[in-house]
Chains A and B, each alone.
Chain A
Amino acid sequence: MGYVAVKGGEAAISESIKRLRLTRLRERQIITVSSIKSCLRGLVDRVMSEASLYARDLAALAIKQAEGNPEEATFLLRAYRGTLPRKYYSRLVTTDDMAIERRISATFKDIPGGQLLGASYDYTHRLLDFSLETEEISDMEKWLEHYSKIPPAPLDSLPQKMTRVADIVRQEGLLAAKTEDNTPPQDVTRQSLSFPAQRSERLQALTRGETGAVTALGYAAIRGYGLLHPTVAELRVGNVPITIDYPLEETSDPGDALYIGRIQVTEVDSLIPSIKETAPGKKEINFCIGYGVCYGQNETKAIAMSVLDFCLENPVPGSPVHDEEFVLTHVDPVEATGFISHLKLPHYVTFQSELDSARKIRLGGAHEQL
Chain B
Amino acid sequence: MHGKFVWVVRMSNYNFAFFDENSKREIRRAIFKAVAIPGYQVPFASREMPIARGWGTGGLQLTLSLIGRHDVIKVIDQGSDESVNAVNIRKFIQQTTAVATTHQTPDATLVQSRHRIPEIPLREDQILILQVPIPEPLRETEQSDTRAKRLHAEKEYSGIYLSLFEQIMKHGQIATGADHPTLVHDRYVMAPSPIPRFDNHKLNYSAALILLGAGREKKIYAVPPYTKVESLAFTDHPFTVEDMTGKICRLCGARGVFFDEFIDPTTQAPYYQCNDTSFCQQRMSAELETTWGEQGDH
Once A1-B266, A9-B87, A337-B52 are accepted as A-B contacts, the answer to whether A347 and B177 lie under 8 Å apart by CB is no
Give the Cβ gap from A52 to chain B, nearest Cβ, in Å. Answer: 9
Once A9-B82, A338-B53 are accepted as A-B contacts, the answer to whether A350 and B196 lie under 8 Å apart by CB is yes
> Using a Cβ–Cβ cut-off of 8 Å, how many residues does chain B contribute to the interface with A?
73
Given contacts A349-B260, A361-B172, 5 further A-B contacts (CB under 8 A): A6-B251, A192-B46, A339-B54, A350-B194, A353-B197
What are the interface flags for A354-370 relative to B under an 8 Å C-beta threshold, 1 for contact and 0 otherwise? Answer: 11111011001101111
Bound: A370/B281 CA distance, A = 26
Task: List the A side residues contacting B261 at CB < 8 Å.
Answer: 352, 355
Central interface residue in A75, A349, A352, by most chain B CB within 10 Å: A349
B48 contacts A79, CB within 8 Å? yes
B176 contacts A357, CB within 8 Å? yes
Task: List the A side residues contacting B19 at CB < 8 Å.
Answer: 82-83
**Which of chain B's residues has its CB closest to A51's CB?**
B48
* Residue ranges of B at the interface with A (Cβ–Cβ < 8 Å): 7, 14-15, 18-20, 22, 43-50, 52-55, 57, 77-80, 82-88, 114-116, 133, 143-146, 171-173, 175-179, 194-198, 216, 218, 242-243, 245-246, 251, 258-262, 264-266, 270, 273, 275, 277, 280-281
Once A83-B19, A369-B246 are accepted as A-B contacts, the answer to whether A345 and B77 lie under 8 Å apart by CB is yes
Bound: A211/B86 CA distance, A = 32
Bound: A13/B8 CA distance, A = 13
A4 contacts B273, CB within 8 Å? yes
Give 25 pairs: A residue, B residue, CB < 8 Å, sorted on A.
A2-B265, A6-B80, A6-B251, A18-B7, A21-B7, A78-B48, A79-B48, A79-B49, A82-B49, A189-B47, A192-B43, A192-B45, A196-B146, A334-B48, A334-B53, A335-B53, A337-B53, A339-B54, A341-B52, A341-B54, A342-B52, A342-B53, A342-B54, A353-B178, A355-B261
Task: List the B side residues contacting A364 at CB < 8 Å.
Answer: 172
Ranked nearest first, the 4 interchain pairs of A and B with the lowest CB-CB distance are A338-B53, A342-B54, A82-B48, A354-B177
Task: List the A side residues contacting B264 at CB < 8 Å.
Answer: 1-2
Q: Is A195 close to B, CB under 8 A?
A: yes
A325 contacts B48, CB within 8 Å? no
> Using a Cβ–Cβ cut-off of 8 Å, how many residues does chain A contribute to the interface with B?
60
**Which of chain A's residues has its CB closest to B175's CB?**
A357
User: Across the A-B interface, how many residue pairs have beta carbons closer than 8 Å?
Assistant: 172
Once A10-B82, A85-B20, A339-B216 are accepted as A-B contacts, the answer to whether A345 and B55 lie under 8 Å apart by CB is yes
Q: Is A348 close to B, CB under 8 A?
A: yes
Task: List the B side residues contacting A261 at CB < 8 Å.
Answer: none
Central interface residue in A75, A195, A335, by most chain B CB within 10 Å: A335
B172 contacts A7, CB within 8 Å? no
Q: Is A8 close to B, CB under 8 A?
A: yes
A347 contacts B146, CB within 8 Å? no
Task: List the B side residues contacting A341 at CB < 8 Å.
Answer: 52, 54-55
Bound: A339/B275 CA distance, A = 24
Q: Is A346 close to B, CB under 8 A?
A: yes
Once A192-B218, A342-B133, A370-B270 are accepted as A-B contacts, the answer to whether A357 and B177 lie under 8 Å apart by CB is yes
Once A196-B146, A349-B115, A365-B173 are accepted as A-B contacts, the answer to whether A6 and B48 lie under 8 Å apart by CB is no
Give the Cβ gap from A72 to chain B, nearest Cβ, in Å. Answer: 10
